[in-house]
Amino acid sequence: MSIKFIHTADWQLGKPYANVGEVDKRSRLQHERVAVIERIGVAARKHGATFVLVAGDLFDSPTATQSTVSAACHAIRALDLPVYAIPGNHDHGAPGSLWTQEFFIRECSALAPNFRVLLKPEPVELDDVILLPCPLLRRHDARDPTEWLRSICELGGRFGGRPRVVIAHGSVQNFTSADDDDGGDVANQIDLERLPASEIDYVALGDWHGMKPVGPKAWYSGTPELDRFSKGEDNRPGFVLAVTASRNEVPHVVTVPTAKIGWYRETQTFADDAGIALFEERLNAQLGAEVGQAVLQLELHGSLGIDAMTRLEHSIEAWIARLLHVRIENRVVVAPTPAEIEAMTMRTSDPLIASVATKLVAMCEQAGEPGEVARLALRRLHAACVGR
Domain boundaries, the chain: 2-257, 262-387
The average confidence (pLDDT) of the chain is 88
List, for residues 158-204, the tens digit of each pLDDT value: 888 899 999 999 998 655 554 444 444 568 899 999 899 889 999 99
Mean pLDDT of 309-331: 94
- What confidence score (pLDDT) does residue 178 get? 46
Q: What is the pLDDT of residues 4-48, one digit of tens each?
A: 999 999 999 999 998 898 999 999 999 999 999 999 999 999 999
Q: Where are the beta strands (DSSP E) in the chain?
A: 2-8, 52-54, 83-85, 115-117, 124-125, 130-134, 164-169, 171-172, 189-190, 202-206, 212-213, 218-220, 239-246, 252-257, 262-270, 294-304, 325-330, 333-334
3-state DSSP helix/strand/coil % of the chain, to nearest 5? 35, 25, 40
Predicted pLDDT at 142: 82
Q: CA–CA separation, 55 vs 182, rounded Å?
A: 18
pLDDT for residue 180: 45
Q: What is the mean pLDDT of residues 268-296?
A: 92
In which band, very low, low, confident or very high, does the pLDDT at 234 lie, cut at 50, 70 and 90?
Answer: low
Query: For the residues 251-255, what does the mean pLDDT come to?
Result: 97
pLDDT band at 283 (very low <50, low <70, confident <90, very high): very high
CA 369, 374, 379, 383 dihedral sign is positive
- CA distance linking residue 242 with residue 126, whole number of Å: 19
- Has domain 2-257 been given CATH number 3.40.50.300? no
C-alpha 218/C-alpha 337 separation (Å) is 58
Q: Under DSSP, is residue 211 helix (H, G, I), strand (E, B) or coil?
A: strand
CA separation for the pair 139, 169 (Å, rounded): 11
Give the model's confidence band at 354: pLDDT under 50 very low, under 70 low, under 90 confident, else very high: confident
% the chain with pLDDT above 90: 65
Q: Report the distance separating Cα 210 and Cα 7, nearest Å.
A: 13
DSSP string, 80-107: -S-EEE---STT---TTSGGGSHHHHHH
pLDDT in tens, 40-98: 999 999 999 999 999 999 999 999 999 999 999 999 999 999 999 999 999 999 988 89
Alpha-carbon distance values, 107 to 40, 70, 249 (Å): 21, 6, 39
Q: Which tens digit of pLDDT belongs to each residue from 204-218?
A: 999 999 999 999 999
Give yes or no for residue 289 having a pLDDT over 80: yes
Backbone angles phi, psi at 90, to 5 degrees: -75, -40
Ramachandran category for residue 287: left, alpha or beta (phi over 0 → left; psi -120 to 50 → alpha): alpha
Has residue 300 got a pLDDT over 90?
Answer: yes
